[in-house]
Structure 1
Amino acid sequence: MEITERVDALIRPSLEDMGFDLVRVHFSGGGRAVLQVMCERPDGSMTLDECAEVSRTVSALLDVEDPIPGAYELEVSSPGIDRPLTRLGDFDRYAGHEAKVELAVAVEGRRRFRGIVKGTSGDEVVIAVENGDVALPFSQIRAAKLVLTDALIAAHAAAHPQDGGPGDGTGAGQEEE
């Protein structure tokens, strides 16, 4: 089992007990090893105080179990507006918005797609691309992310008026690439 799977299995139950959905666990080794934990409330919200609460809980769990050899930095954040799409249900939740999808194996001669998310059909994700709709096997998606558009910003602002919109100064949801 790789590090991200071990950490996911270790922290998911506690985060769910706290009322959070775990969106992604990502570990990058190398010179500056970083463990990134993304989570949110079921309604998609996440405050700076909640990030700190999650960070303390995750730190305590990792200190006890020690699933990562060596030193690393822990980063806890919300997924942000232009969030990664990591669960099959994310593609239904964000239907109508533009996304970039990268596959492990080519479909119709391509591994990268950009288009409007139409939702899911069984275990496939349907994306409207320039030539029509394409069904992508969820199991073959290596990475998927919403594209920051005016429509996505407006939908987020309507759903979360308490956030103050992009650049609300909390730092929650910001991610480096």
Structure 2
Amino acid sequence: MNNIKDLIKEKADEIAKKMDLEIFDISLKKVRKKLKLEIIIDKLNGYVGIDECEIFSREIESYLDEKDLIETSYDLIVSSPGLDRPLRNLNDYIRFKGNLAKIILRERIENRTAIKGYIVNIENDIILVKEKDGGKLIKIPYAKILRANLEIDL
């Protein structure tokens, strides 16, 4: 199944590049005896719209039908990472500077294991976050972050 996933990723990257998008994630797994292929597409300068998901879906679907890579029936899902997307690397923190994020820490910083605040700046490998409640500026070494995601700011 990994070889199939590699072939799909190769074509997905090609389609994404042509549409000025990038592949955020691809998963191919069995869910209740049925195969599910999920491709998450992203845009570096903005957010992915429904139209882009539809166009991408049609292109990858015609490739999959033509090559007949997946021998059984499957569900194809093309989507965006969403408004509460994970922050996976330092570039994501730079890209979403000014946005609200929830950061889960590997070890305590200022007696906390989770911090919710606005990404103020990134200096070297330190993320400066202004706490949502209270406004305190907290320095978080990137290496101490277990996981993080954007939060919807209401």
Same fold (TM over 0.5): yes
Aligned residues: percent identity? Answer: 24
Kindly indicate whether the alpha-carbon contact (under 8 Å) linking 2:5 and 2:28 is maintained by their aligned counterparts in 1: no
Whole-angstrom CA distance in 1 between matches of 2:5 and 2:23: 12
Instruction: Give the letter aligned to residue 8 of structure 1.
Output: K
Whole-angstrom CA distance in 1 between matches of 2:108 and 2:10: 35
TM-score, normalising length: structure 1 = 0.58
Say how many residue pairs are matched: 144
Q: Work out which of the residue numbers 71, 75, 78 in structure 1 matches 2:77.
A: 75
Higher strand fraction (1 or 2): 2
Partner residue of 1:144?
148
Q: Work out which of the residue numbers 94, 97, 106 in structure 2 matches 1:95.
A: 97
TM-score, normalising length: structure 2 = 0.65
SS at match of 2:97: coil
Whole-angstrom CA distance in 2 between matches of 1:65 and 1:114: 46
| CA RMSD in angstroms, aligned pairs only | 3.7
Q: CA deviation at 1:40?
A: 3.6
- Against the structure 1 CA distance between its residues 131 and 94, is the aligned structure 2 distance closer, same or farther, given a 3 Å change threshold? closer
Partner residue of 2:17?
16
Structure 1 alignment gaps of length 5 or more = 151-177
Report the structure number with the largest CA radius of gyration: 2
Whole-angstrom CA distance in 2 between matches of 1:27 and 1:76: 12
